[in-house]
Amino acid sequence: MYIPGSSKEQRTFEQFIPSAFKGRFYVLLKPVHGFQSKPVNWSVSIPKRILDIAAAVLVLSIFAVPMLIIAVLIRLTTNGPAIFVQTRVGLRGRLFAMYKFRSMTAGTDRSSGGPTLTMDGDARITPLGRWLRKFKLDELPQFYNVLRGEMSLVGPRPKLHQYAEPQSLEYRPGITGAATVVFRFEEEILKQAQPLDLDAFYARRIKPLKERIDGRYMRHATLWSDLGLILTTFRLVFAPGRIPASFRNIERIPEAVSTKKTDTDGLHFAAYQTVFEKADCELAVADSPEISSS
């Protein structure tokens, strides 16, 4: 799928006006008293919000009965509630309750002292939960978050407060997004890391890349790129894929990054970002034909 932002898509509104129209009404295109119109980013536009509402109503209506069946199955096969609720950071830093079908054993999430991140083969995932996560059915309750205006169809994934970055707070969190597609095997990647180093590995290598990929996409997103990303997400649920090349052997992490001593967190962030962000991001996107230019 093509990420917008090429020179063809940087043309101004004036270039789309027929020459005959320009000659007669060119005054309409001129700035008035220093005012210059600025195109609205699709990612924060009203039409996108309308699309979100329409899609949320449609999905919740169509899947109401299947969602009820899933909830009953969760209650019958495990102890605990059917819906998992967790506080996430949304647009402009606002906290909201994100809803998912519970796919793990009750009482083993972060709020109960469990690990923050989930690896492939995590023992906390229930048999039914593994099936729900495979087909992304555990995300269905998030369409209620979309309806409430807390989330969008496409955007950066909603973050826990310790992983939130200012760049991602400019947009509503999404059910899917560019980084979600590129890192669709994130749990398999995390499985390669040592359990004690899991949070540090995520913060050093994965989180900065996801922020950069999502930020680049959201700044140039269009209606058609969002629709293409949604269709790609559906396709990838059933299609096999591969881990981005730069994450297939994490043992090759440069020692300079893991051992670099700095006086401030800002310098440390700049150090690992310089090493990883450009190379890994380019490799991850290039290795994902669903996101790279076609």
What is the predicted pLDDT for the residue at 272? 35
Task: Give the mean pLDDT of 27-52.
Answer: 70
Lowest mean pLDDT across 16-20, 29-33, 120-124: 16-20
CB 79 within 8 A of CB 152: no
How many Å apart are CA 260 and CA 253, to the nearest integer?
A: 13
**Res. 90 pLDDT band, cuts 50 70 90:** very high
How many Å apart are CA 136 and CA 117, to the nearest integer?
A: 17
Q: Phi/psi of residue 88, each to 5°?
A: -125, 165
Q: What is the pLDDT of residues 236-279, one digit of tens each?
A: 888 766 666 656 665 544 333 333 334 433 333 333 333 334 44
- Which amino acid is located at 136 in the chain? K
What is the predicted pLDDT for the residue at 207? 87
CB 185 within 8 A of CB 241: yes
Task: Give the mean pLDDT of 183-197.
Answer: 78
**Res. 292 pLDDT band, cuts 50 70 90:** low
pTM of the model as a whole = 0.71
| Measured CA distances, 16 to 4, 12, 95 (Å) | 18, 7, 41
How many Å apart are CA 138 and CA 61, to the nearest integer?
A: 17
> What would the two tokens of residue 91 be?
């647009």
Angle formed at CA 89 by CA 270 and CA 185, multiple of 5 degrees: 70
